[in-house]
Amino acid sequence: MSPLNSLRSPGAAAEPVTIEMVARAAGVSASTVSRILNGTATVSEAKAQAVAQAIASLGYVPNPVARGLAGGRTLSVGVVTQSLDSPFYGAALRGVEIELQAAGYSPLFISGQWNEREEQRCASLLRSRRVDGIILLDARLSDPALLELARRLPVVVTGRKLEAPGLASLSFDNFLGGRQATEYLLRLGHRRIVFIAGAADHQDSSERLLGYRHALRAHGLRIDERLLVFGDYSERSGAEAIEGLLDARVAFSAVFAANDQMALGAMLGLHRRGMAVPRQVSVVGFDDLQAGHFCIPPLTSIHQPSHEMGQLAAQAMITLLAGRHPDLQLPLPRLIERESAGPCRA
């Protein structure tokens, strides 16, 4: 690797050029360069210029590793997601990546698999890597654990309401979303509406269920508990839930699933039993995943802004890192009407 060679390669980052080298080139000390880089002190215009020049011509890029060691920032933020392999979180991760990169930070993604212990491990690992802050998407950690974490470094958590110094949270109005889906079905004339819940311990699902109950009651309807079935958010569980109901000869004309994946499964279950959607049974999901846009028939669903959620979480982290407290608001849920629900003909 000749020097010539390394000069040639255009994208070749910061190879050997150190802060010492730009200091020398600019005729100042490394301390001064550092201060200019960090905006830590006011510097004379002349020196600032000289340093800027040196940086540009040498193509200097600060070494985040050294920065991290020196107790400065690593310019990286940990992002714990529940899954790397989920259509729902994927959009959020991309949103986080975009915003973080724009602000000069690098995300460190790691997945907790919906498991509290695993999530603890993730947080520890992230801290040992000296991230500047941690974003948790739908954390499994308890409120106290989160609060404790936030005393060490800035934390942003989605999916719950919890505020503290250095801790920002971002939550979606699942209750309202649940009501919207149910009211829509009610307006179409449906009265016997199945609700397929997600994991029993999952708050999002419970809130959506509350919205469902609220809407039915507000409509003067009693709730038939046989219409409440449980899945685990997977397509398979949605199909099984519906087939179980059909086998038990429970009558219904509509299904509201706590997420799109179960709604998709429910549609398949109905299809297997020869029931046409939406002619015989209407189906509404929750999340508005890409997969629902192209299934047959395209799925009516409550839109959840997962990409924006990722972006907002990242912005909140950047604000926190800047020493201010963010005040961000997620868009309200809204129903996206497609073709899986229609008038009740029962």
Partner DNA sequence: CTGAAAGCGCTTACAG
Residue 164 pairs with which residues in a beta bridge? 167
CB of 46 to a copy of itself, least distance (A): 29
Partner whose binding site includes residue 106, from DNA, a copy of itself, none (CB under 5 to 8 Å by kind): a copy of itself
CB of 18 to DNA, least distance (A): 3
Stretch that binds DNA, among 22-30, 101-109, 162-170, 325-333 (CB under 7 A): 22-30
CA distance 99 to 337: 30
CB of 266 to DNA, least distance (A): 52
Q: Rounded to the nearest 5°, which phi and psi values hold at 282?
A: -95, 145
Helix intervals (H) in 161-298: 174-187, 203-218, 235-247, 260-272, 290-293
Partner whose binding site includes residue 125, from a copy of itself, DNA, none (CB under 5 to 8 Å by kind): a copy of itself
Going by C-alpha positions, the residue among 304, 281, 280 that lies closest to residue 292 is 304
CB 299 within 8 A of CB 340: yes
CB of 119 to DNA, least distance (A): 24
Q: What is the dihedral of CA 36, 39, 40, 46, to 10 degrees?
A: 40
Find the angle CA(142)-CA(167)-CA(119) to the nearest 5 degrees. 40
If residue 196 lies in a helix (H) or strand (E), which one and from where to where?
Answer: strand 193-197
CB of 70 to a copy of itself, least distance (A): 9
If the CB atoms of residues 3 and 16 are measured against DNA, the closer one turns out to be: 16
CB 61 within 8 A of CB 13: yes
Going by C-alpha positions, the residue among 337, 303, 288 that lies closest to residue 87 is 288
CB of 298 to a copy of itself, least distance (A): 7
Partner whose binding site includes residue 34, from a copy of itself, DNA, none (CB under 5 to 8 Å by kind): DNA
If the CB atoms of residues 66 and 332 are measured against DNA, the closer one turns out to be: 66
The two structure tokens encoding residue 213: 């109950």
HSE, CB side, 13 Å, CA atoms: give it for residue 153.
20
Count interface residues toward DNA (CB under 7 A): 31
If the CB atoms of residues 18 and 29 are measured against a copy of itself, the closer one turns out to be: 18
Stretch that binds DNA, among 39-47, 111-119, 144-152, 204-212 (CB under 7 A): 39-47
The residues of the shown chain that bind a copy of itself, judged by CB under 8 A, are 1, 9-14, 61, 63-66, 68-69, 74, 76, 83-87, 90-91, 93-94, 97, 106-111, 120-121, 123-125, 127-130, 148, 151-152, 235-236, 239, 261, 264-265, 267-268, 271, 290-291, 293-298
* Contact characters 61-90, DNA, x per CB under 7 A: -xx--xx-xxxx------------------
Q: Does 29 bind DNA (CB under 7 A)?
A: yes
CB 253 within 8 A of CB 190: yes
The two beta strands, 300-303 and 334-336, are antiparallel
State the residues that interact with DNA by CB under 7 A. 14, 16, 18-20, 28-35, 37-38, 40-44, 46-47, 60, 62-63, 66-67, 69-72
